[in-house]
Amino acid sequence: MQTTDVISITDAGDLPGLLRCRAARTPRAVAYRQYEESSNSWRSYTWKEIDQEVGRWRAALSTAGLERGDRVALMLRNSVEWVLFEQAALSLGLVVVPIYNRDAPGNAAFILGNSGSRLLLTGESKQWPNISQHRDLFPDLETVITLDRALEAEQNVTALYVKDWLSEKASVQPVRNAPDDLATICYTSGTTGRPKGVMLSHRNILSNAEAIVSTVPAYREDVFLSFLPLSHMLERTGGYIYPMLSGSEVVFARSVETVGEDLKQIRPTVLISVPRMFERAYARIELALAKKGKLAQHLFELAKQVGWNRFERMQGRRHRADLRQRILWPILRILVVNKILGQLGGRLRMTISGGGRLDEQIAKCFLGFGLPLLQGYGLTESSPCVSSNVEQDNLPDSVGRPLPGVKVKLGENNELLVGGPGVMLGYWQRPDATAKTFDAEGWLRTGDIAEFVDGRIFIRGRIKDILVTSTGEKVPRADLESAITRDPLFEQVVVVGEGKPYLTTLIVLQREAWTRLAAELGLDANSPTALASSEAKKAALKRIATLLQEFPSYARVRDVYLTLDPWTVENGLLTATQKLRHARILERFEDVIGRLYAGHERRPQPEKETA
């Protein structure tokens, strides 16, 4: 039995009004669960308890000398405290500025300063000393509150421990926000240059969540597992406001590192993720199969083929299965499919992938295995969702049809343009950037190349992701990188070639797969020189050539740099949603790239296949 219980955004009025409506409608239902280390157990919070706690946080915030419209920042992992702080701040007419909890101190300092935030809530007191080293960048900050322990007082900054700061009683009444009042400044991931502050109103976020729930319904019985950062709009709207509209329960994962175990413990029914999670899961499957041998690999490939044919029949795009497939599927489900889906908890009824393009072959594999994987499209500037596939009309190489109320059209160079109530107010204190992001008619320019077929949107690449070599050839970088990472040996890939005579790559190898390859090549996997050896480079280039054989000859990779050191959020080379910061990677590896192109007439080539 699935209970539909959606709150109208008209009734909600604003974001804190939505919580009050939900608490009034289902006060005793579980709203959130999170792991409490003190008791070594999962603690549940009802909607009524959340609403009451928000009152205490609101009363505490009201003593900070803040005025309506002031910015307040939070730098926390996903948690109940994240929700309490934001809801309390919004109910006072304050503007919330989320910062990714693992962001580099310099980036966090930039966001604090650019937004003019006057108060910061941080989950870990150890973060503050590193951020405070950049104190000159954020002179407006007056108060720092920590969740774990008290900080030492600093000049011009009031340091408070949350347990001492919180009020005993909810004595302050909430204010009412107008729909178009600024609710949050959400900073873009900043794959190139400094992040820009996207200004989103209460109407922006509520209308987008309502459009999602009307297209992809969620129910009171649903359980979401939240692990993408709430500082990113995909999780904020999709994993927080969307389930609040529908009355679903949200469980906060203990950490990104424990998501695999949390999936098996919590057994969620809804999961919102990014392509990188599915790519890593697929790579782990292939690595495990390599250890099991040829029979296991054959069964996996057979399950993919039969499963995809079965999915296509269920979508009405293929005729009935032949007798062989009908016999094979129950066997393959037991031998292959159930074991893989069991790693995801075993009861997912909906999985949403957004924040980037998922490789079509990986999507087909999971869909064929019965994982209800829906790909969508969006961007921070549209609150974020623009389109989505739905269960009964699911074409994995598209990003579905536009959500209700969302308008789309193609502009110059087939750039996807977006309009509707979810489109941002603009960039914070960046009128120049705002003007460039909207066309003359007020449409939001996405920077993505798109095609419309039968009402569906197909993303064909990013305008800035087209590399133009010195010979004038245009190369779709993202397509090449996606194809190369299908091999589990290649963990992270950046294709280089803008203005160059040929293409090269920078590649982070998967350590276990590298150890096995090194042994095959007679190399010491732990030797610092092994990765740079001609044997390793030739083996990598040979595998890359196989992966890129469907591309034109000018899109072939001629040289490669291999490393085992991953690109992470902490070293500034990855965004919070696992996107590569190409510009920063190219800058960091400038000397390496120079060597790849030095004396390019002697470029290494992949070995030819012998007959």
Classify burial at 396, counting beta carbons within 10 Å of its beta carbon; exposed 0-12, middle 13-18, buried 19 or more: buried
Residue 581, helix vs strand vs coil = coil
Mean pLDDT of the chain: 91
517-532: per-residue pLDDT in tens? 999 999 999 998 999 9
Q: Which two tokens stand for residue 87?
A: 């809801």
Residue 41 has pLDDT above 50, yes or no: yes
| Residues 64 and 119 sit within 8 Å (Cβ to Cβ) | yes
Cα dihedral across residues 189, 195, 201, 207: positive or negative: negative
Residue 351 has pLDDT above 90, yes or no: yes
Residue 421 has pLDDT above 50, yes or no: yes
Buried b (16+ CB within 10 A) or exposed e, 558-597: bbbbbbbeebebeebbbbbbbbbbbebbeebbeeebeebb
DSSP 8-state secondary structure symbol assigned to residue 574: B
Q: Are strands 401-402 and 158-161 parallel, antiparallel or unpaired?
A: unpaired
Residue 579 has pLDDT above 90, yes or no: no
Mean pLDDT calculated for residue range 116-130? 93
pLDDT value of residue 544: 95
Query: 122 to each of 65, 70, 136, 388, how far by Cα in Å?
Result: 19, 18, 19, 34
Residue 611 has pLDDT above 80, yes or no: no
| Residues 554 and 475 sit within 8 Å (Cβ to Cβ) | yes
Mean pLDDT calculated for residue range 135-140? 94
218-229: per-residue pLDDT in tens? 999 999 999 999
256-282: per-residue pLDDT in tens? 889 999 999 999 999 999 888 888 888
Residue 469 has pLDDT above 70, yes or no: yes
Residue 378 has pLDDT above 50, yes or no: yes
309-332: per-residue pLDDT in tens? 999 999 988 777 778 888 999 999
Residue 432, helix vs strand vs coil = helix
Mean pLDDT calculated for residue range 521-547? 93
Classify burial at 39, counting beta carbons within 10 Å of its beta carbon; exposed 0-12, middle 13-18, buried 19 or more: exposed
Of the given ranges (120-134, 178-192, 230-244, 396-410), which has the lowest mean pLDDT? 178-192
Q: How confident is the model at residue 610 (pLDDT cuts 50, 70, 90)?
A: very low
pTM for the predicted model, two decimal places? 0.85
Residue 437 has pLDDT above 50, yes or no: yes
Alpha helices in 359-454 (DSSP H): 360-368, 431-437
Using CA atoms, how far apart are residues 284 and 297, in angstroms rounded to an integer? 13
Q: All domains of the chain, ordered by start, with CATH?
A: 9-269 (3.40.50.12780), 273-346+348-463 (3.40.50.12780), 469-602 (3.30.300.30)
Q: How confident is the model at residue 605 (pLDDT cuts 50, 70, 90)?
A: very low
Mean pLDDT calculated for residue range 394-416? 96
Q: Are strands 466-468 and 474-476 parallel, antiparallel or unpaired?
A: antiparallel
Q: How confident is the model at residue 600 (pLDDT cuts 50, 70, 90)?
A: low
Beta-strand runs (E) in 337-434: 350-353, 373-378, 385-388, 401-402, 407-410, 415-419, 426-427
Query: 507 to each of 481, 487, 560, 570, how far by Cα in Å?
Result: 10, 12, 7, 18
Residue 608 has pLDDT above 90, yes or no: no
pLDDT value of residue 193: 62
Mean pLDDT calculated for residue range 491-511? 92
Q: Mean pLDDT: which of 378-387, 480-489, 581-590 is highest?
A: 378-387
Using CA atoms, how far apart are residues 29 and 249, in angstroms rounded to an integer? 8
Q: Which two tokens stand for residue 189?
A: 């991931």
The dihedrals phi and psi of 606, each to the nearest 5 degrees, come to -65, 145
